[in-house]
Amino acid sequence: MSIATTDSAPARPGVIGWIIGLARRSPTFALGFAIVLVFAVLALGADWLAPFDPVQTFPFAVLKPPGGDFVLGSDGNGMDVLSRVIHGSRYAFGISLPAGALMVVIGVPLGVVAGYKGGVTDEVLIRILDVLRAFPTIILSLAVVAAAGASLLNVVLVIGFLDSPIFARIVRAEVLALRSATFVRAAVAVGNPPWRVMFVHILPNAIMGAIAQLPVRMSWAVRISATLAFVGVGVQAPAPEWGAMIRQGAEFVISGEWWVATFPGLALIALVLGFNLLGDGLQDLLDPRRRATGK
């Protein structure tokens, strides 16, 4: 009597296996993603994770050093630093996410049109973008936000608008390399209108560089928003924004109350590092040339 045996098909890797494989392909991406994920959890769960209301004052605990009920100490107004750092992650994502989306929405279509149309259209669009990028970003941001008003919406609009030329140039360079490709000529030959050729056939093949650049520019948005708040023209106190917290705590450093400015500063550095690692890792994963050379 023989026992029939069948070869079982290899099991497909689950989500955990996919994550492990991704981490092996790009440890930089995995580390950056983990850092950003931690801050995203803090932002989403700030109401439950923060021990106190971020603007609640404790008059008898002003500038209390770290320890006890105030794990990271309290600031000059008697507010809990830990609670304010946790809630500050909401401002970081609340600025970087919509600003990044605005960069893409403005810059990517301009880059596609400029690269595909060429000629006068390309020259006019690129020269306008060059003029915009010629101004020092910090100075221009300070001037616009100071004139328009120090609101969260104005900060997002200024940052998103000023950084959109970078995405336009990245996408334009890809489109210039693709517009003579065989699949583009075939799409034109079968009668596709120009808008369809640009945004259906070319854009999906030209967007990878912009996707990899997005986390890097989001880190720039976090830095710029903190800088604006630090100099007093961005998000204003008592809002728990990291730049405003650093500005408030800077005056206490010389008298020994270092924790007021140090902990929001460390949070800012960590999130910026996470975004930059994430962007570099995306370049490793999305750029076949970097994967092939192992760089």
pLDDT in tens, 236-258: 778 899 999 999 898 888 888 99
Q: What is the pLDDT of residues 163-186, one digit of tens each?
A: 899 999 999 999 998 988 898 899
Segments making up each domain of the chain, as ranges: 41-49+88-288
User: Three-state SS for 70?
Assistant: strand
pLDDT of 145 above 80? no
Q: What is the pLDDT of residues 103-119, one digit of tens each?
A: 999 999 999 999 998 88
Q: What is the pLDDT of residues 61-93, one digit of tens each?
A: 889 999 888 999 999 899 999 999 999 999 999
pLDDT of 146 above 80? no
Asked if 164 and 110 touch (Cβ cutoff 8 Å), the reply is: yes
- Which whole number is the average pLDDT over 217-227? 92
**pTM of structure:** 0.86
CA distance 220 to 163: 9
CA distance 206 to 189: 20
Classify 41-49+88-288 by CATH class: mainly alpha
Q: Which residue has the tokens 């794990």?
A: 71
